[in-house]
Structure 1
Amino acid sequence: MSTKMRIRELKKMDLEGGYLIDGFPSVGFSSAISTESMIHTSKFSITGVISSDSFPPISLIKDGKPNFPTRIFVNEESKVSIFLSYLTLHESLHRTAARLMLNWARKKKIKLVVSSVAVKTPEGSEEVVAVGSTEEARKKIKEVGFKVLENGVVPGIPGMLLNEASLMEQDVIVILFHSDGTGPDFRSSAKLCEAMGKLIPGIACDMSLLQKEAEKAEVMIKETEEESRQLKDTMYR
């Protein structure tokens, strides 16, 4: 089965000098929940979809309308784009997804790509830690008051983004946030949303609205994960 992914743009957007947020679930679902919440609390509109023969064949029904489970949203005013997915991709697709985002970012002349990954940290630790693909990205991390990760391992799509971007000299920042990894976590999503807001101008998080959207997103994500699990087990044997 082909691992190729395709972007189908629904309309053109000027994103030169702007931002791209990786909303693919990694460990747990906080990344997807926080990006979903941003879309509902800021002026984002759908501008494209991502498809692949390797994706489980499912349609998300929202407000009576069919939706691709992996979509692209853009806030044209702030020049912020989001790759939002309710699919937890198989490991064989992580490198492909990272290259897809970076190639699209280069095509759109995007300045900074922001991703995230959940890690287990000491109980009560509130310090935000991040890692950058370039010297400029690491400088940005320090400027906003985050700690730069000196040694460690970043898995999955965020790790592949860092590796590939370092060769392309594309600025990528990966935020490491606390989560127990057992499922959707409003507190982790709120912390992540707040951290992204410091890196990306024009992104604000309304915490009361975020909690409501997190609850909706949690239901949808769980349904998508359950419906696609059997399909994925069959596809990746």
Structure 2
Amino acid sequence: MVPPTPTPSLRLLKAAKAEREQLARHRRELLNARESLRTELERIDGSLEEVDERQTLLDRLVGPTAGPQPETGEALARRTSGDEQRALPVLRGPDIRREAVRVLLAHPDRPEALHYREWYGLLQDAGFAVAGKDPLATFLTQLSRSPAVSKSTQPGVYELDRGAVARLHTRLSELQRELRDSAAAHGPSVEAAALRARRTELNAELGRVEKAVEEVEALFGRARVADERLIATA
């Protein structure tokens, strides 16, 4: 006769439950820290852009200060040919990555991937400048954040993510399903608190994915989006 498997002791169950709750709290703290850092980075980027704009305004009013000064995005947006100056449109924030994708999509050679330095050159050739003290670094940051772009296996190379639409819609469905399930769930107060925290996370991610879907659909076109979704569900 095979002896029955012993059931976990109450002490072990209590310790496991306490450790699970501790891990859940730690995970929430990490998520909150990540959001705080992302928000702080966006705030700093915005402040730097404001400083550049004010510096440009002051230079126009009183002239530039003596000695070499770091170029702002507005300064880099001007090219001189003889005595003529042509001001280029200056891109900031998400507009940088959106125009970068549009430029690549409109390129006659139809490239699907490029090194970010070459991609940045195409954006400049198309008549755009990037705001910031280090425009190339700003461009790379925005390019890496684009939901329509993915990093290639080659160093420094980024490519158009043609499957982004189908993947984002799949993720939307998963988030919506989990939200519905969590709304119908019931349990002890500790589990209820964890559910509320998870719903907060889900709603935050849902908002980000919805914005990404809007951006990708606007770039790739809704007709192509519909075709990709049909292929994904076939």
Q: Which category of TM-score, normalised to the shorter sequence, fits these structures?
A: under 0.3
TM-score (norm 2): 0.23
TM-score (norm 1): 0.23
Which has the larger Rg? 2
**Greater strand fraction, Structure 1 or Structure 2:** 1
